[in-house]
C-alpha cells in the first residue's frame, strides 16, 4: 500500500465512531482545524463528542463533500494546512504548522506546559513549552520534537502510528535473477521474499503473461521485519489466509475475490513480507494506515497477525469503496496511490497497470481451504 508522496500520508478515513467519551489526542488536531474554519466552538479536548461530529458534517456540506461525518482524505485535504499530517509522522520544530502541531500543543497543555494558543502553528511560545517539557522529562533540551519527545508526550497507541520521515532515504537495494525454464513470477517472488507486484513494477512486467527464459529480472530486496511480531507470524498455509479473507470480507461487505486479488498481488499471501517502503503483511499495510484504521475505523487494537492484517486492509478497502461510490477501479487506485492523489492527479501509469492486474486476478485467484 505504498503512497506516491514524499511522506506517507494518511489514507484511511477518520471515522468518528468510537464511544462518545473516547479520548484520542489525534482528535484534538481535527478540532483545531474545524475551529479554524469557524465550525467548532467546543473545547479542544481530544474527545469526539456530538459537537465534533456535527462540525465535521457542517464542513463537508460547505466543501461540497458527502456529509458522512468521516474526516477522510478528501475532507482532510479540504481542511487545508491544518488537516495534515498526523502526530507522530515527522519531526516538529519552530516554523512548522499542521494537524500534528495542534496535537503537540494540546499534549503540552495537558502536561501542564502551556504553549500559548493551541492553533496548529509552532511558534516561539510552543518552542519554549517544548524545552520546558524536555527539561522536566530529562530529554535533550533542543525545542525539537523528535521520536523520543513525541513518544514521551503521548504513549497511547493512537500517537505511535508512524515512522518519522527520514530525508534522503537511500534507494532500496536490488539483485538480478536470470529466468530459468519452468520458473514463474510467483516462484521467483517467493524465493527472494518479495511480492509479485514489486517484481512486476521493478521490471515493467504484466503478471498475467509468461516469462521469457533467459530474461534478466531486477529483484527489489525487501526487508524482513526482524524481531517484530509480524515476522514471527508468517502464514505458510493458504487456508488460514482464505479463512481470514472470507471472515473479514463478509464483515465489511467487500467482495472476497477483490480482497484475494489484492492479497496475492501485494504479497503472494506472505504475512512476513515487509516492503522496502515499510508496508507490511498480506495486504501490505503501512504503519500509518494501520493505526488510522485501527483507531478511527475499527475503534480498537487489532492483533498484528495474518487475520489482523487482512482485517485492516479489508476495512480500509471498504472505506475506499464507500468514498468512491462503489467504483472498484478508483478504490483500487486509491489503495495503491492514495485517494487524495487519485482525486487530484488521476491514475498514474503505474497505478493503471496495478488496477488492471488486480481486476484480472479477481477472476482467477482463489485460496485453497
CA distances from 358 to 9, 36, 48, 96, 273 (A): 23, 41, 37, 39, 19
Of the candidates 183, 239, 266, 323, the residue annotated as catalytic is: 266
Q: What is the DSSP string of 3-38?
A: -SSSSPPP-S-EE--S-TT-B-HHHHHHHHHHHHTT
Q: If DSSP codes are grouped into helix, strand and coil, which group holds residue 205?
A: coil
Q: Is 46 left (phi over 0), alpha (psi -120 to 50) or beta?
A: left
Q: Is 266 a catalytic residue?
A: yes
Q: For strand 174-178 and strand 216-220, is the pairing parallel, antiparallel, or unpaired?
A: antiparallel
Is cis: bond before 368, omega within 30 of 0? no
Helix 256-267 vs helix 196-203: crossing angle, to nearest 10: 60
CB atoms within 10 A of CB 224: 13
The whole-angstrom separation of Cα 73 and Cα 84 is 9
Closest CA to 229 of 170, 309, 283: 309
Q: How far from chain centre, in Å, is Cα 291?
A: 7
Q: Catalytic site residues?
A: 266
Amino acid at each position: 500500500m505504498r503512497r506516491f508522496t514524499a511522506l506517507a500520508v494518511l489514507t484511511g478515513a477518520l471515522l468518528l465512531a468510537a464511544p462518545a467519551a473516547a479520548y484520542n489526542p489525534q482528535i484534538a488536531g481535527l478540532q483545531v482545524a474545524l475551529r479554524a474554519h469557524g465550525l467548532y466552538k467546543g473545547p479542544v479536548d481530544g474527545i469526539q463528542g456530538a459537537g465534533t461530529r456535527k462540525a465535521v458534517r457542517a464542513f463537508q456540506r460547505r466543501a461540497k463533500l458527502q456529509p458522512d461525518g468521516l474526516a477522510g482524505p478528501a475532507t482532510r485535504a479540504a481542511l487545508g494546512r491544518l488537516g495534515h499530517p498526523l502526530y507522530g509522522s515527522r519531526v516538529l520544530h519552530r516554523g512548522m504548522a499542521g494537524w500534528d502541531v495542534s496535537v503537540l500543543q494540546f499534549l503540552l497543555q495537558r502536561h501542564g506546559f502551556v504553549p500559548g494558543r493551541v492553533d496548529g502553528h509552532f511558534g516561539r511560545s510552543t518552542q519554549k513549552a517544548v524545552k520546558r517539557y524536555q527539561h522536566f522529562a530529562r530529554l535533550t533540551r533542543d525545542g525539537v520534537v523528535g521520536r523520543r519527545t513525541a513518544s514521551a508526550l503521548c504513549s497511547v497507541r493512537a500517537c505511535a502510528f508512524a515512522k518519522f520521515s527520514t530525508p534522503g532515504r537511500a534507494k532500496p537495494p536490488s539483485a538480478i535473477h536470470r529466468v530459468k525454464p519452468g520458473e514463474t513470477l510467483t516462484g521467483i517472488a517467493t524465493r527472494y521474499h518479495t511480492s509479485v507486484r514489486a517484481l512486476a513494477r521493478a521490471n515493467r512486467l504484466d503478471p498475467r503473461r509468461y516469462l521469457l527464459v533467459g530474461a534478466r529480472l531486477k529483484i527489489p530486496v525487501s526487508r524482513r521485519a526482524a524481531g517484530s511480531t509480524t515476522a514471527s507470524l508468517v502464514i505458510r498455509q493458504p487456508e488460514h489466509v482464505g479463512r481470514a479473507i472470507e471472515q473479514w470480507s463478509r464483515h465489511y461487505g467487500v467482495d472476497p475475490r477483490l480482497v484475494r486479488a489484492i492479497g496475492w498481488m501485494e504479497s503472494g499471501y506472505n504475512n512476513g513480507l515487509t516492503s522496502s517502503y515499510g508496508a507490511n503483511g498480506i495486504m501490505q499495510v503501512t504503519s500509518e494506515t494501520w493505526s488510522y484504521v485501527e483507531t478511527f475505523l475499527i475503534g480498537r487494537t487489532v492483533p498484528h497477525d495474518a487475520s489482523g492484517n487482512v482485517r485492516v486492509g479489508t476495512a480500509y478497502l471498504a472505506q475506499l469503496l464507500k468514498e468512491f461510490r462503489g467504483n472498484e477501479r478508483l478504490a483500487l487506485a486509491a489503495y495503491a496511490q492514495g485517494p487524495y492523489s487519485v482525486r487530484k492527479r488521476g491514475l498514474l501509469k503505474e497505478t493503471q497497470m496495478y488496477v488492471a492486474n488486480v481486476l484480472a486476478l479477481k477472476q482467477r485467484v482463489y485460496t485453497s481451504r
